[in-house]
A and B are shown apart, each in its own frame.
Chain A
Amino acid sequence: MIMPPPVRKAVLSVHLTVSVGWIGTVLAYLALGVTAVTSRQVQTVRAAWTAMEVIGPTVIVPLAVASLITGLVMSIGTRWGLFKHYWVLFSFVLTLFSTVILIVHMFDISTLADIARQADAAELATLGGDLGHPGIGLVVLLVVQVLNIYKPKGMTRHGQRMLGRQRLAQREQPMNTLPGVEDAHR
């Protein structure tokens, strides 16, 4: 079902907002992760882990889920389709993958934040930080963003089949139903 333009623009606005917001919060999360690794102050390290534990499930995960859902609506509700174009398909797979990894990883962060709250100074020094997951996640999100902006050409086999059917239907359409011919008869 194709969305009417006002609805499409509204969904697109939400999709852009939550997707760019997701990237912004991952950057903030990375800053906390770097702080947890580099700071020598016990309270700062604990605060960084606690902040990561808070913004993960309450901000980043909702933005990720919202981005995934609005992206699905945008693809299904427009003529791009979900499986017709490679850039849409790749964006969906990468976003789904990132969202699942993010949600699973939040349980680890909760455990690590608990450890950080109880650890002494020596133990905190060996705790490290959480840079790998958000770092790779940020790269994946930027790849998705580039795909969405450039929309590189290329249709999947499914998309090519659909296009072939559409063209066949257009050829079989009687001439007098074409809009220009209809106008000419008036």
Chain B
Amino acid sequence: MPRQPSSSPQPSSANVGDSLGPDRRPIPDGATGTPRWVKLFVGLAAVVILTLLVLQFVGGGQHGPGRHDTGAAPSPTSAAGTDHEPPAAAHGEVEQP
């Protein structure tokens, strides 16, 4: 029995998200306008970024290794990856501040 031509070439959105991928399936129907989840997503991202910026500002702008500065900056040789002996007095327990 010959196949009947489809009366509607419009894809069905019911197939969206199948793990088999989109190539054997119709493209999901494009709803006009920005979906609510996108607005929520962008809003949350903006809040998170602003919070991080404020924290950075309040924290004095310290970021990176300088924030952990203990006065034990590596020597040029150790920074180049040279092995070295650890200080003899540093094999015990970490002193809690």
Enumerate chain A interface residues (CB-CB to B < 8 A): 2-3, 5, 8, 12, 39-43, 45-46, 78-80, 85-86, 90, 108, 111-112, 114-115, 117-128, 150-155, 159-160, 163, 166-167, 170-171, 175, 178-181, 183-184, 186
Contacts and interface: CB of A to CB of B under 8 A. Distances in A.
A76 to B, nearest CB: 13
B94 A115 contact: no
B74 A153 contact: no
B60 interface: no
14 contacts: A46-B86, A78-B21, A79-B22, A86-B35, A108-B64, A115-B68, A119-B72, A120-B72, A120-B89, A128-B68, A150-B17, A181-B5, A183-B3, A184-B5
B84 A184 contact: no
Nearest to A109: B65
Nearest to A127: B68
A152 B68 contact: no
A153 B65 contact: no
A40 B96 contact: yes
A91 B78 CA distance: 39
A121 B65 contact: no
A155 B9 contact: no
B33 to A, nearest CB: 9
A59 B87 CA distance: 30
A114, A124, A186 pick with most chain B CB within 10 angstroms: A114
Given A80-B22, A126-B97, A121 B92 contact: yes
A106 B94 CA distance: 25
Interface string B42-78: 0000000000000000000000110010111111001
Contacts of B27: 79, 163, 166
Contacts of B64: 108
A90 B10 CA distance: 26
A167 B27 CA distance: 11
A42 B23 contact: no
B91 A42 contact: yes
Given A123-B70, A184-B2, A118 B86 contact: yes
8 nearest A-B pairs in the assembled complex, by CB-CB distance: A180-B5, A114-B74, A154-B35, A155-B30, A123-B70, A151-B17, A119-B72, A111-B65
Nearest to A128: B68
